[in-house]
Amino acid sequence: MTKFVLYKNKEHFIGYEVSGHSTVNADDTQGKLVCSAVSSAVIMTANTLSDVLGADVDAKVEDGYLKVTVKDPDEKSDLIIGGLQLHMNALADEYKGNIKITDGGLH
């Protein structure tokens, strides 16, 4: 199962974390589809924050893991991460059992 966590401070989204894999075995076509969709969405979001918006972003990447933190979040970064939140919620609704979304609480 893929786990997705959103982090906020009192005013803004400050980042997100995704871990795990959605596949249960090598033949799990649905799991592969979900993994690809999640990977594409979280990487596009990180790239949009850093390369398009020019935000100062800290990213930690490992196999099956990505954590992105926006150092100086603002309304523009909120819109981008908010779009990711909508997309992840839609994927979790469509592919129940493959994605778990958690609120990371205030930081």
pLDDT in tens, 67-94: 999 999 999 999 999 999 999 999 999 9
Distance CA 13, CA 55 (A): 13
- What is the identity of the amino acid at 11? E
What does each C-alpha distance from 97 to 3, 36, 43, 65 come to in angstroms?
11, 16, 22, 18
Angle at 32 between CA 52 and CA 43, to 5 degrees: 10
Per-residue pLDDT, 82: 97
Rounded to two decimals, the pTM is: 0.92
Longest Cα–Cα distance of the chain, Å, equals: 43
Lowest-confidence region among 8-12, 24-28, 33-37: 24-28
The pLDDT score that the predictor gives to residue 22 is 87
